[in-house]
């Protein structure tokens, strides 16, 4: 009973924090605001989340998990196309941020600090591992090299995401750069393999219903949904 109550309160706190940041931006949301919206004292809130950074990390973790589930549900997300699915995952993050001001506040915040940037890399790597994306590829994928590549690509995505207007980048162009860099520099894929992956990734993207993804994000902290905290 106590554990259930604990998780229920965490769910409420995460949901309220998510919506406050989405509406106001991270810098304009305080622990006191979160506590008041959650109907608890600040001291009780801090017994769950001593620092706002922990809250941010958990929100990003749940957002990433939700996005991964949605990419897996895309009609053309063939399990035998790991590079293409990676492109679709990156595209989904970018397209949501570029077209939703509230989500942009959260995604941008995730690319600001090293801690949250590291989280994106860890979560992208976890998504790849959980879905066994590279288990059946023709080339040997060294785990250390893959992790290094993801860390490098995540940093690059963050910089390009911030400067996408400056460089006139679309969400798909950003995803193409990131996927190509990972495949060529770290997974030693040929130009033909890269071209095929980007084409297959485009087909997955074309099958995506971003409104469905939006609804999944809007309800990711609802009762009955699995949360990570």
Instruction: Encode the chain (229 residues) as per-residue pLDDT tens digits.
Output: 445 558 899 999 999 999 999 999 888 999 999 999 999 999 999 999 998 888 888 898 898 889 888 988 887 766 568 889 889 999 999 999 999 999 998 888 777 666 666 666 666 777 677 666 666 555 566 777 777 887 888 888 888 888 888 889 999 999 999 999 988 988 888 999 999 999 999 999 999 999 999 999 999 999 888 888 7
The percent of the chain in helix, strand and coil, each rounded to the nearest 5, is 75, 0, 25
Question: Measuring CA to CA, which residue among 129, 134, 116 is closest to residue 61?
Answer: 116
User: What pTM was estimated for this model as a whole?
Assistant: 0.84
For the chain, strand residue ranges (E) read none
Using CA atoms, how far apart are residues 218 and 101, in angstroms rounded to an integer?
14
The answer to whether the CB of 134 falls within 8 A of the CB of 53 is no
Hey, is 14 helix, strand or coil? helix
Q: Are 77 and 204 in contact (CB under 8 A)?
A: yes
Look up tokens 């769950």; give the residue.
48
Rounded Cα distance between 117 and 119, Å, is 5
Residue 113 half-sphere exposure toward CB, CA atoms < 13 A: 12
Q: How far apart are CA 154 and CA 45, in angstroms?
A: 31
Helix (H) or strand (E) holding 110: helix 101-110
pLDDT at 1: 45
């Amino acid at each position: 009973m106590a554990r259930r109550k604990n998780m229920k309160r965490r769910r409420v706190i995460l949901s309220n924090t998510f919506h406050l940041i989405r509406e106001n931006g991270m810098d304009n949301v305080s622990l006191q605001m979160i506590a008041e919206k959650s109907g608890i004292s600040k001291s009780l809130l801090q017994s769950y989340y001593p620092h706002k950074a922990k809250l941010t990390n958990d929100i990003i973790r749940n957002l990433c998990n939700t996005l991964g589930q949605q990419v897996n549900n895309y009609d053309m997300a063939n399990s035998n196309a790991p590079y293409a699915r990676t492109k679709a995952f990156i595209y989904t993050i970018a397209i949501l941020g570029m077209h939703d001001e509230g989500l942009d506040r959260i995604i941008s915040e995730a690319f600001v600090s090293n801690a949250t940037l590291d989280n994106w890399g860890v979560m992208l790597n976890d998504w790849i591992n959980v879905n066994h994306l590279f288990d059946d590829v023709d080339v040997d994928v060294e785990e250390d090299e893959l992790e290094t590549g993801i860390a490098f690509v995540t940093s690059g995505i963050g910089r390009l995401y911030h400067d996408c207007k400056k460089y006139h980048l679309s969400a798909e162009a950003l995803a193409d750069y990131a996927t190509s860099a990972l495949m060529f520099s770290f997974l030693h894929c040929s130009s033909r393999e890269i071209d095929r992956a980007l084409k297959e990734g485009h087909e997955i993207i074309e099958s995506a219903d971003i409104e469905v993804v939006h609804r999944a994000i809007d309800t990711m902290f609802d009762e009955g949904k699995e949360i990570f905290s």
